[in-house]
Structure 1
Amino acid sequence: MTDTPVRQTRSSGPRATAYPAHRVLLVVLAGAAGVLTGLVVALWVPLAQFDEMVVQSLNAQVAPHAELVTLLGAVTDVGSETAVWVLTGVVVVAALLLRRYRAAGYLVACWLLEFVVENGLKHGIGRPRPVVPVELVHATTGSYPSGHTMGITVACVSVTVLLLGSVDRRWWRWLLVVGSLVVMAVVAATRVLLAAHYPSDVVGAMLLGTVLALALVPIAGRPDELLSRPRTAASTSDG
């Protein structure tokens, strides 16, 4: 009597579905970013009118309150180029000390690609900054996309992706995701409230930043391994 080999089927749990879900999300966000960028380049009138209306209205409300302007300026600096570099550098060093070399490479790649794409679009599109009665911040580079928003988005999404794979409790995972979204949204809001950017600038920056961070996930490891709950058994180093 011969033994009949048993065919092993793939699990239908989170690990079997995470990778396709990652790709679907990436395609949807990339499509949205592409459409919005196209509308900005085409100077679509309804979008331009909405942007202008929001910025002018907010400037009239925010400008008279010096304390609020100071607070917004402090919060918006969380997304500054220096702050993002420091955050990324600290996490990269931590990853190297833990011998998570692929994770460190992923973070560096995200930072480099964000820098290239952001500045390429700013110079390529050349969208003027909002012109308001009371200038609250001074900026000379292109308006689309928002550099502060895109930088903090890439940093938050990339770090969150790496941490999700090592957090077992569901509520901790939700806290990570929600916390990242809040930080991104707050920085984005300050850019509009300070009339440094139009609403479409920050929305486009969040979409583009998320797409870049998700597109480079394979550098750190398989998306189904990173985005699913960690296994109970001890995991091995990714170096």
Structure 2
Amino acid sequence: MRVEPLVLAMLACFAGGLFLFERLASEVLEGETLQVDQSILLALRRPGDLSAPIGPAWLAHAVDDITALGGVTVLTLVTLLVTAYLLFDRRSRTAFFVLLSVLTGWLASTSLKFLVARPRPEVVPHLVDVTDFSFPSGHAMVSAVTYLTLGALLARIQIYRSARVFVMGAGVFLTLVVGMSRVFLGVHYPTDVLGGWCAGALWALGCWMLLRFLGDAGGDRNGSGTGGPSGKE
């Protein structure tokens, strides 16, 4: 049976990402990354006052707003609204795929946190309240699952390649800024965020591979794919 090059590339990326996450988690459990993690957190605070982040006052407010993009409330609203839209658009399989991807990603994030059980960083004061474990960052992981999944779905229905690149780029950008905001706020080590990005991307890729295996989700209405003509500039 002939295997598409894209499928092979996805499998290779999945295997590589799984290896990287395993190595990162191993280093975290052994405490090998702690010194670098703490150095980065300290570098983001003023030397004379560790409760004050570097940069102008508006930056802290902006980062606080950005981190909300990866919070439970915002991601739940985004997921439910997208799911409802897809249902109204007669794309029930795609709606189920989006909802299931995000929900299972959330469960996976929580499970990994309890398995690793890494305490939150205390080298600098937290700028927002947190209560659970630290690795991997839930904000980084679930925002990656949500925004990368939605980006991939939206990219498939774009006619022009430039539009597809922009949509996927927007998903990656949102994932990155949410993760970085957690480090700036002092509630996660940088390796927590790296682990969250890696695990979230893996989860989104795994769900997307499963979707391809089960059949094209874009064929809900008429049995054809959602993607428009390919290759246009």
TM-score (norm 2): 0.84
Is 1:160–1:180's contact at 8 Å kept on the other side of the alignment? yes
- Does residue 88 in structure 1 map to residue 79 in structure 2? yes
Question: Which structure: larger Rg?
Answer: 1
Match of 1:213 among 196, 204, 213: 204
Q: Look up the match of 1:140.
A: 131
- Does residue 60 in structure 1 map to residue 60 in structure 2? no
Pairwise mapping of residues 53-202 of structure 1 onto structure 2 (< 5 A)? 53-60=39-46, 63=53, 65-202=56-193
The percent identity for this pair of structures is 25
Residue 219 of structure 1: how far off its partner (Å):
4.7
Letter in 1 for 2:34: A
Is 1:51–1:198's contact at 8 Å kept on the other side of the alignment? yes
Equivalent-residue separation in structure 1 for 2:131 and 2:224 (angstroms): 47
Greater relative contact order, per chain length (Cα 8 Å cut-off, separation 6+): 1
Residue 86 of structure 1: how far off its partner (Å):
0.8
Equivalent-residue separation in structure 2 for 1:30 and 1:104 (angstroms): 27
Residues 24 and 106 (structure 1), Cα distance of their counterparts in 2 relative to 1, 3 Å cut: same
Letter in 2 for 1:171: S
Q: Deviations over 1:155-190 (max 9, x none)?
A: 011112212322231111111121111111111111
User: How many residue pairs are counted as aligned between the two chains?
Assistant: 218
Q: Look up the match of 1:31.
A: 19
Letter in 1 for 2:151: T
Equivalent-residue separation in structure 2 for 1:134 and 1:40 (angstroms): 21
Is 1:17–1:224's contact at 8 Å kept on the other side of the alignment? no
Equivalent-residue separation in structure 1 for 2:155 and 2:195 (angstroms): 25
Letter in 1 for 2:113: K
Residue 134 of structure 1: how far off its partner (Å):
3.6
Residue 78 of structure 1: how far off its partner (Å):
0.6
Equivalent-residue separation in structure 1 for 2:124 and 2:44 (angstroms): 11
Residue 237 of structure 1: how far off its partner (Å):
7.0
Unaligned runs of 5+ in 2: 227-233
Is 1:106–1:219's contact at 8 Å kept on the other side of the alignment? no
Equivalent-residue separation in structure 1 for 2:173 and 2:225 (angstroms): 31
Residue 73 of structure 1: how far off its partner (Å):
0.7
Equivalent-residue separation in structure 1 for 2:118 and 2:224 (angstroms): 47
SS in 1 for 2:45: helix
Equivalent-residue separation in structure 2 for 1:88 and 1:135 (angstroms): 28
Match of 2:7 among 19, 24, 33: 19
Residues 129 and 42 (structure 1), Cα distance of their counterparts in 2 relative to 1, 3 Å cut: same
Equivalent-residue separation in structure 2 for 1:91 and 1:57 (angstroms): 39
Q: Look up the match of 1:48.
A: 34
Residue 224 of structure 1: how far off its partner (Å):
9.7
Residue 59 of structure 1: how far off its partner (Å):
2.4
Is 2:125–2:186's contact at 8 Å kept on the other side of the alignment? no
Is 1:153–1:206's contact at 8 Å kept on the other side of the alignment? yes
Unaligned runs of 5+ in 1: 1-9
Letter in 1 for 2:5: T
Letter in 2 for 1:19: V
